Structures are given as C-alpha cells and as structure tokens.
Structure 1
Amino acid sequence: MLGRYVGKWFYDKGIPFDAANSPYFSPMVSAIQRAGLRVKPPTAYELSGPILDEEMEEVTKWIEEYKQSWSRTGI
C-alpha cells in the first residue's frame, strides 16, 4: 500500500516520476518508517517556514565553507 499512497501523492501534485531517483527520497521513506505509527507529517507552514529556514541555513553554511576554499584554489 505504501507504493500506492506515494503514487497517489505524485499523481495528485504532478511530481515528476524521476523525483523518486532523488538521493533524498529513499532516506525520507526510511525516516518515516523509523518514526513509527504516530508520526505526523509536517504542515505546509512548517515546510515553508521553520524547515525551509533550517535548510537555507545549512546551504548557506555549505556555500561559505566552499567560498573559503577559493583563496587556496585560485577561484
């Protein structure tokens, strides 16, 4: 049934099927499985607010670390 529900979500939202090849897809499913039966999905607010903010912070840190290598690599 998991496949059917995931499929319905893909179809309903027009998500490209190759999104299932994302390196984040399988870990997401695994995290949901580990979370147990009472896990609640994130709300639209959480996805567009605090969770997005955390992801932006992580990417910003990665970019800053990458920029620090520029002086060593001549970029």
Structure 2
Amino acid sequence: EEGPSLSQRLGALAPPQRFNALLDHIRRHTATILALPGLEAIDAHRGFMEQGLDSLTAVELRNRLSTSTGLTLPATTVFD
C-alpha cells in the first residue's frame, strides 16, 4: 500500500513548511532522473539546465511531476 499522496502530505504541513517539502519533492525527482545520489546533489538556486537536464530529461521530469501531483503541467514547465 502506498503512503499519503503529495497533496495530503503538503496539506498536513504549516504553510512555510510546504514550500520546502515541495522543493525537496522536485529535487528528489530531478536527482533520480540525473542518476545522482540524492536530493542534496541538486542546487535549488541553479537552473535545471545548468545541472544537467536536457530536453529529454526535462520532459521526463515534467511527466514525473504531473504524475506525482495529479496536475496537467505544460511541456515548458521545467524551462519556466
């Protein structure tokens, strides 16, 4: 059985904690796609392309985030 959804986890947090939890979620997926050891390897202050994402891995990240959030995200999400 799966644990609580991302939405449920975020909803259980105080607003200031939600940002960091969502940021960690995005960093974790990015690190996985880039085959990096963990979310700590992703610098939240640098752009995705600077950290090694290309157009194909950007689409993969968008797809993973769409699936994990339940949102329909535009193809340009990672570039915006």
| TM-based fold match above 0.5 | no
Q: TM-score, normalised by structure 1?
A: 0.28
Q: Based on CA coordinates, which of the two structures has the bigger radius of gyration?
A: 1
Q: TM-score, normalised by structure 2?
A: 0.27
